[in-house]
Amino acid sequence: MKNKLLFYLLTTLTIYGCSKDDQQVDDPQIAILGKWELTHSGTGNNAPAVESIGYEEYMSDSIFRFYNYAQQQFYTDKFWLNDSLLIKSFSYIDVVDSDTILLVEPYKYEFINRNKLILYFQYPAIQTTFIYKRIK
């Protein structure tokens, strides 16, 4: 009887002991979906905390939206995952030449858990590390 009770207790603790936030990510194509807010930005592993100006939303149809809090406006572009890279593409019209400009930015991604994402910008830049948290 004591063995059964101990077994049930350990099973219950094992099932409920792991927080959903701490779960590892199995499929990055699914894990990236949702809204993400920037919390840290800088160089290397010690990126300082920043005040977010908006959030990024990744949708299942490869649409990437950025919502700017101050302007209360969405900006929509594309994203895709390629091996260990998250690729974001941005297009805009150059006001001087009226040409459409397409920027493609590669980031190495790392999910710390299902609610924390680190992006490492793959071009030489001043700010190379961006840490995001999932929001609702």
**Strand runs labelled E in 1-96:** 34-42, 54-58, 63-68, 73-82, 85-93
The alpha-carbon radius of gyration of the chain (Å, integer) is 20
pTM, entire model:
0.77
**Residue 17 domain-assigned?**
no
Structure tokens at 72: 């209360």
Query: Is residue 18 a part of any domain in this protein?
Result: no
Would you say residue 70 lies in a domain? yes
Phi, psi values for residue 121, rounded to 5°: -65, 135
Q: What pLDDT sits at residue 34?
A: 97
106 is in which domain, residue-wise?
A: 25-135
Structural domain count of the chain: 1
CATH number of 68's domain: 2.40.128.280
| Residue found by looking up tokens 């190495």 in the block | 108
Is residue 40, in this structure, part of any structural domain at all? yes
Alpha carbon distance 102, 98 (integer Å):
13
What local confidence, expressed as pLDDT, does residue 22 receive?
56
Residue 95: the pLDDT is: 87
**Residues of the chain predicted below pLDDT 70:** 1-25, 125
Question: What's the distance, Cα to Cα, between the start and end of the chain in Å?
Answer: 45
Q: How far apart are CA 98 and CA 87, in angstroms?
A: 25
pLDDT at 78: 97
